[in-house]
Structure 1
Amino acid sequence: MEMASMTTNTGASTSPVAPHMKWFMDDRFGMFIHWGLYAIPARGEWVRSLEKLSVADYEPFFEEFNPIKYKPKEWAKAAKAAGMKYAVMTAKHHDGFCLFDSKLTDYKATNTPAGRDLIREYIEAFRSEGLRVGLYYSIIDWHHEDYPHFGDKIHPMRDNEDYRNHQIEFDRYLTYMHGQVKELLTNYGTIDVMWFDFSYDDMTGEKWKATELVRMMRGLQPDIVIDNRLGGDKKSAEPEVYAGDFMSPEQLLPPEGVVNEAGEPLPWEACITLNDHWGYCAGDNNYKSPKTVIRGLVECVSKGGNLLLNVGPNAKGEIPRQSLEILAEVGQWMDDNGSSLYGCGPAKLEKPEWGRYTQNGNYLYAHIYDRGMGPINFRGLNGKIKRARLLADGTEIKVETPWNAWEYPHDAFISFSGASLPDEVNTVVELELSENALDN
């Protein structure tokens, strides 16, 4: 099987990339969607665990779940307009509630006032916009009788004495869990990503019969991309079958990307919330700015990673207005500058002091955040740049050595006429390099 190569931020080492991962590493930007019964209490997706709510306490939300404004085609259009290329939506979160029509449980959207398979609608809507589709599936289940209750680290009934002697048959739960994954990979056509969440303590790896699970999945959909949260050591020289295709850092961007034990770069995707919660939280207005999102996406790509940016729709099925406004502004920037990210990765250069580099073949993209004083310095690129253009509109930018830069013969320079940058969020200059310019 032919393998592509991937470079680090210095270009010093490469590692093979499986063909089924190429689209993932080219598309770079996706939408995460956390949605379920927890949108009704609107205090975040962990409300059952944090408030130690019983099944009975939580049942009223099941009985009233009726997202009358759920229009996944609008979600898909918003994602596409933002420059996102794929999406991942919660088919089942930790509370055990299924947004899909599983034949293995009654605890599903089709038995609520919603009365229909909401995952099918999501898949069809996003596919119609040309976006790849992924499914989040929690391997944890606080609703299932055979999932550990008392004494578990996070179960809502972990401290409830009534459950101290509650007997479970964990294998029966595993049969259920594997069966639901099979349903998701059998009943909805091609699924591009399966995003499992999550292993902890001794609940990891073969505790989930993970090898058996992944082999079943690969048998059904050989090209599916799987995250690393079943457990295992993706960074080892010989990762387990279930170690996944990519690393999934949460709520942080790795300082220098992600590498294995040999120092070779690994595919990774940072999952990040737009505010401080995954599921809808009515009181959380701490939203990231479009500038923060854009620069965060650039940082991911400059380190060889993706950004999976979350939205948490409300109980009626609407993505919050603030989220849509941010996505729209990001999309405007991506319309002009997306080619500096799609299909790009780390550059064979150190991080510049004025911003970041991304690279795609002989095209080097300078993401300039800081105007600074004097000309912009491209370290070590003198004589290696064939052409420079402002990416947003194609304006020619002259590459020349100023009279006062004679002490820096190996560097190239550009100048902006004004005291401010053309785009204060991120001015992108496309540098077409001469063949093999960065190989030495």
Structure 2
Amino acid sequence: MKTGNFNMIRTMVLAVIAGLCISITSYAQDTKKPTVSLREAQQDFVNLGFGMFIHYNIPTYMNDDWADPDASPSIFNPKKLNAEQWAKAAKSANMSYGCLTTKHHSGFAIWDTKTTDYSVMNSPYKKDVVREYVNAFRKQGLGVALYYSILDTHHKLRPGHITPVHIKMIKQQLTELMTNYGEIKALIIDGWDAPWSRISYDDVPFEEMYTLIKSLQPSCVVMDLNSAKYPAEALFYTDIKSYEQGAGQHISKESNRLPALACLPLQENWFWKESFPTTAVKSPEKMIKENALPYNQIYCNFLLNVAPNRDGLIDDNAIVALKEMGKLYQPVSSLPKFPEGPAPIISPNLAKFKPADGSWSDDMNIMDFGNDDNFGTSWSSNPSVKNPWFEIDLQKDQRFNTIVITERRPNINSYRLEYFSNGVWKPLTSGNETNKVKIHRFESVWGGKVRILIDGSKSNPSIAEFGVYNERRL
């Protein structure tokens, strides 16, 4: 081979290798683990302090927040939609971020989705509203969050009708929202494991969705509006504890220890109604002095809903109120740091509805209430029992690495956990936690049964929920 040819080939090979190195380096940079921990992301969200919830979707063009799932996309026809007006209004109130309803319970998508024809792209407007929103808010230096409903009545995504096609659609829609619009500070999910939606975390697998979102946006906090069901002392299936005040959910200013969100509409409804322009909004002073400011001091972000009208604009009375709020609310660089605590529970509960046994209890508080997925009911051992115990039969040997005991009130203060494997009860861990929610994480074991032996309690022991989980861990 001639020297010139050899040098040319060598140069080409080196160039290819260099290109591969650049590609590999670039890939490594794109897929590297996030530098922001979950705790840091939670605190960053709390530090946002005050934001604008924007309920704007096909219910805006009806007289009911729960829109007709067969309503024609043709009614979604704003004449003057101006997301920059929304962003400037938020800025005037000294808000730091916004959150837009990308899809509400009736399933109408207001972004350019490839998953369904039931979207804004088949309406007279034919523009991606999510794109306009994120661009406008970022232009004003504001953060961006999104709202997404799991319940979707147009696509028959409701209890008893959920299919693998529905799961695929949810994953595709979440992927679109998490990849096409830049950094998303928070994803607020609704219509999932709520008493009224009745879509469980098994029907639509929470851990799969959570892991997908985090793989696409590692620093995005995932928030499910499930506060009505779960206790206020721990994070179950959410990174941020939520309180929908209009539904009677109120954060405790005395005892909250979790990163939290409280939300409330400026008017009586979440979506715009014909009465809004001529009806007084809620007091700007109360919104700030009784909500935003005190909540910020207890690790809670306040999200105030402002609903655009059918032209796609915020009404004048709301604009005036937001400016008044800006005079009363001054954002700070950092807010109090929430106390250290366990990571959220995000995995399926292996103990749910499995056969349960326990020491003698009254018929109204029998052992089946200890794992019925209802934190309002309990197994309670009879006061005369000297050595109370409660047991779950998993019905087959399974791997697990987490147990969570939730009481109706703090009571049990000394206990042992054991698991049954190869015909023998083996010690798992012991505890003397006095918290209402007792979370134990440990190295994975295999077993067919799990039990708690209670050595000490203030009164006869009572367990609202006994959970067993096999968490994904790196």
Q: Compute the TM-score of the two structures, normalised by the length of structure 1.
A: 0.62
8 Å CA contact 2:266–2:305 kept in 1: the answer is yes
* Alignment of 1:193 onto 2:190: no
Q: Secondary structure at the match of 2:176?
A: helix
Q: Show CA shifts across 1:287-324 (max 9, x none).
A: 21111111121121232211000011111101121111
Q: Show CA shifts across 1:394-423 (max 9, x none).
A: xxxxxxxxxxxxxxxxxxxxxxxxxxxxxx
Paired AA for residue 313 in structure 2: E
Structure 2 CA distance for aligned equivalents of residues 293 and 236 of structure 1: 25
Q: Secondary structure at the match of 1:331?
A: helix
* Alignment of 1:180 onto 2:173: yes
Q: Tell me the residue number matched to 1:215.
A: 211
8 Å CA contact 2:151–2:199 kept in 1: the answer is no
**Number of aligned positions between the proteins:** 297
Q: Aligned in 2, Cα 1:257/1:78: closer, same or farther, shift over 3 Å? A: farther
Q: Show CA shifts across 1:347-382 (max 9, x none).
A: 99xxxxxxxxxxxxxxxxxxxxxxxxxxxxxxxxxx
Q: Aligned in 2, Cα 1:333/1:54: closer, same or farther, shift over 3 Å? A: closer
Return the structure number with greater relative CO, CA threshold 8 A, min gap 6: 1
* Alignment of 1:255 onto 2:252: yes
Q: Tell me the residue number matched to 2:142.
A: 131
Which has the higher mean CA deviation after the structures are superposed, 171-180 or 283-292? 283-292
Q: Tell me the residue number matched to 2:365.
A: none
* Alignment of 1:142 onto 2:167: no
Q: Show CA shifts across 1:14-73 (max 9, x none).
A: xx97112232121210100000122122x2422x3xxxx461xx22xx213221211111
Q: Tell me the residue number matched to 1:363.
A: none
Alignment partner of 1:79 out of 80, 90, 98? 90
Structure 1 CA distance for aligned equivalents of residues 126 and 34 of structure 2: 46
8 Å CA contact 2:120–2:128 kept in 1: the answer is yes
Structure 1 CA distance for aligned equivalents of residues 208 and 35 of structure 2: 26
Structure 1 CA distance for aligned equivalents of residues 137 and 313 of structure 2: 16
Q: Aligned in 2, Cα 1:54/1:179: closer, same or farther, shift over 3 Å? A: closer
Q: Aligned in 2, Cα 1:343/1:54: closer, same or farther, shift over 3 Å? A: closer
Paired AA for residue 108 in structure 1: S
Structure 2 CA distance for aligned equivalents of residues 226 and 303 of structure 1: 20
Q: Compute the TM-score of the two structures, normalised by the length of structure 2.
A: 0.58
Q: Tell me the residue number matched to 1:33.
A: 54
Paired AA for residue 167 in structure 2: L
Q: Aligned in 2, Cα 1:218/1:234: closer, same or farther, shift over 3 Å? A: farther
* Alignment of 1:89 onto 2:100: yes
Structure 2 CA distance for aligned equivalents of residues 206 and 127 of structure 1: 36
Q: Tell me the residue number matched to 2:287.
A: 293
Structure 2 CA distance for aligned equivalents of residues 139 and 257 of structure 1: 33
Structure 2 CA distance for aligned equivalents of residues 63 and 235 of structure 1: 42
Unaligned runs of 5+ in 1: 5-15, 153-166, 260-264, 349-440
Q: Aligned in 2, Cα 1:185/1:279: closer, same or farther, shift over 3 Å? A: same
- Within a 5 Å distance, the mapping from 1:416-431 to structure 2 comes to none
Q: Show CA shifts across 1:80-117 (max 9, x none).
A: 12110011001000111111011000011111110111
Q: Which has the larger radius of gyration?
A: 2
8 Å CA contact 1:37–1:315 kept in 2: the answer is no
Superposed displacement of residue 230, structure 1: 6.6
* Alignment of 1:275 onto 2:267: yes
Superposed displacement of residue 254, structure 1: 1.6
Superposed displacement of residue 206, structure 1: 2.4
Q: Secondary structure at the match of 2:308?
A: coil
- Within a 5 Å distance, the mapping from 1:328-367 to structure 2 comes to 328-334=323-329, 337-339=330-332, 343-345=334-336
Structure 2 CA distance for aligned equivalents of residues 84 and 258 of structure 1: 26
Superposed displacement of residue 235, structure 1: 5.3
* Alignment of 1:24 onto 2:45: yes
Structure 2 CA distance for aligned equivalents of residues 233 and 218 of structure 1: 22
Structure 1 CA distance for aligned equivalents of residues 34 and 184 of structure 2: 23
Alignment partner of 2:121 out of 107, 110, 116? 110
Q: Secondary structure at the match of 1:205?
A: coil
What is the alpha-carbon root mean square deviation over aligned residues?
2.9
Structure 1 CA distance for aligned equivalents of residues 40 and 181 of structure 2: 23
8 Å CA contact 1:2–1:19 kept in 2: the answer is no
8 Å CA contact 1:257–1:305 kept in 2: the answer is no
8 Å CA contact 2:259–2:338 kept in 1: the answer is no
Structure 2 CA distance for aligned equivalents of residues 234 and 178 of structure 1: 28
8 Å CA contact 2:51–2:99 kept in 1: the answer is yes
Q: Secondary structure at the match of 2:243?
A: coil
Superposed displacement of residue 128, structure 1: 1.2
Q: Aligned in 2, Cα 1:302/1:27: closer, same or farther, shift over 3 Å? A: same
Q: Secondary structure at the match of 1:101?
A: coil
% same residue? 31
Q: Aligned in 2, Cα 1:257/1:93: closer, same or farther, shift over 3 Å? A: farther
Q: Secondary structure at the match of 1:254?
A: coil
8 Å CA contact 2:97–2:142 kept in 1: the answer is yes
8 Å CA contact 2:285–2:328 kept in 1: the answer is no
Q: Aligned in 2, Cα 1:258/1:281: closer, same or farther, shift over 3 Å? A: farther
Q: Secondary structure at the match of 2:203?
A: helix
Which has the higher mean CA deviation after the structures are superposed, 16-25 or 194-203? 16-25
